[in-house]
Amino acid sequence: MSKFCLITGGSGFIGQRLVAALKQSGSEIRFLSRKYQFEDTVVCDLQSDFIPDAALDGIDTVFHLAGFAHDMRDASKIKDLYYRLNVDATVQLANLAVNSGVKRFVFVSSVKAGGNPLLGKCANEEDQRNTEDIYGKTKREAELKLLEMGQVSGMHISIVRPSLVYGPDVKGNLQLMLSGIENGWFPPLPEMGNRRSMIHVDDLVRAILLIAGDKRANGEIFIATDGTPYSSHEIYYAMCKILGKSIPKWNVPKFLFDIASLVSPSVKYKINKLLGDECYSSSKLEALGFKAKKFLRDMNETDY
């Protein structure tokens, strides 16, 4: 692994674990961040600032994790923000990397860039579907621009699309579920037989480092999962185990969720997110030699 790296999003959930792994390998790290948080930090707000030309001086590898993820506000009202952070800032950083002689550029995208998978199938990198989701759309646009840039410049560009990431200090819907179970208000989910792909944050970091250093990963997109889809019912039970709570002997019948879905489109969307399929294949990544080491079913209190 390169000894001189620049990372964006280094203070985030995934970024912190990546930083720890890079430091353990002996890499020197420079951070690009809105705030001065680390010793070698280039202060730059990607939403509004231009990245200083000297930010990438001496850098061999860029790990670009920063971006604008799902927001509870109406996406149509903040569309420009998605494009500025997920597309424009990514392209600006990659252009500067090319001009600065950076050898490798790793972009952490999202499975949402591939669109929603077909029902009953675990989507792979070839299953590219159009998406109306502004987050996925902007991630895909950034991917395409990067791949084109890599072909023209010769810089090693690799893209990883993580599935649902979990681990210590996780945020978002998983944290909401954990909090709900811990506080007793999140109901036990029925077994729907649905399939949802996940990956532990430490395994994702291993995948990121793998594609950064493997020549076969140049110009390629890789989906990252642990290779074991879980039903929502299994995820709920695993969360109970992680929290050290007894598993309820009852669950909410499926027909109650069906009735609730009739209340409004937004409620239906949330229930589909909770109980629907989101299955992806990481066979392409596994062909590079990746093999997950951590699985949700094996997690306990000490792992979180």
Local confidence pLDDT in tens for the 304 residues of the chain: 558 999 999 999 999 999 999 999 999 999 999 887 778 899 999 988 899 989 999 999 999 999 988 654 555 668 889 999 999 999 999 999 999 999 999 999 999 999 887 777 899 999 988 887 899 999 999 999 999 999 999 999 999 999 999 998 888 888 888 999 999 899 899 998 899 999 999 999 999 999 999 999 999 999 999 999 999 999 999 999 888 888 888 899 988 988 989 988 888 888 888 888 899 999 999 999 999 999 988 877 656 6
| Cβ atoms within 10 Å, residue 50 | 11
- The whole-number pLDDT of residue 273 equals 81
Instruction: State the Cα–Cα distance between residues 81 and 87, nearest whole angstrom.
Output: 10
Instruction: State the Cα–Cα distance between residues 82 and 146, nearest whole angstrom.
Output: 17
- The whole-number pLDDT of residue 130 equals 82
Query: What's the whole-model pTM score?
Result: 0.92
Are 166 and 230 in contact by the 8 Å Cβ rule? The answer is no
Amino acid in position 70: H
Amino acid in position 143: E
Instruction: For residue 236, list its beta bridge partners.
Output: none
Alpha-carbon Rg for the chain in angstroms: 20
Instruction: State the Cα–Cα distance between residues 7 and 106, nearest whole angstrom.
Output: 10
Q: What are the pLDDT digits (tens) for 229-275?
A: 999 999 999 999 888 888 888 899 988 988 989 988 888 888 888 88
Instruction: State the Cα–Cα distance between residues 120 and 78, nearest whole angstrom.
Output: 33
Instruction: State the Cα–Cα distance between residues 234 and 238, nearest whole angstrom.
Output: 6
Are 48 and 89 in contact by the 8 Å Cβ rule? The answer is no
Are 9 and 15 in contact by the 8 Å Cβ rule? The answer is yes
Amino acid in position 26: G
- The whole-number pLDDT of residue 3 equals 84
Q: How far is the CA of 117 from the CAs of 39, 113, 129, 135, 220, in angstroms?
A: 42, 11, 8, 16, 19
Question: Residue 63 in 3-state DSSP?
Answer: strand
- The whole-number pLDDT of residue 58 equals 95
Chain centre to alpha carbon of residue 203 = 12
Please give the angle made by the CA atoms of 154, 157 and 163, to the nearest 5 degrees: 165
Instruction: State the Cα–Cα distance between residues 227 and 197, nearest whole angstrom.
Output: 7
- The whole-number pLDDT of residue 7 equals 97
Please give the angle made by the CA atoms of 101, 103 and 107, to the nearest 5 degrees: 115
- The whole-number pLDDT of residue 269 equals 81
Instruction: State the Cα–Cα distance between residues 191 and 195, nearest whole angstrom.
Output: 11
- The whole-number pLDDT of residue 73 equals 53
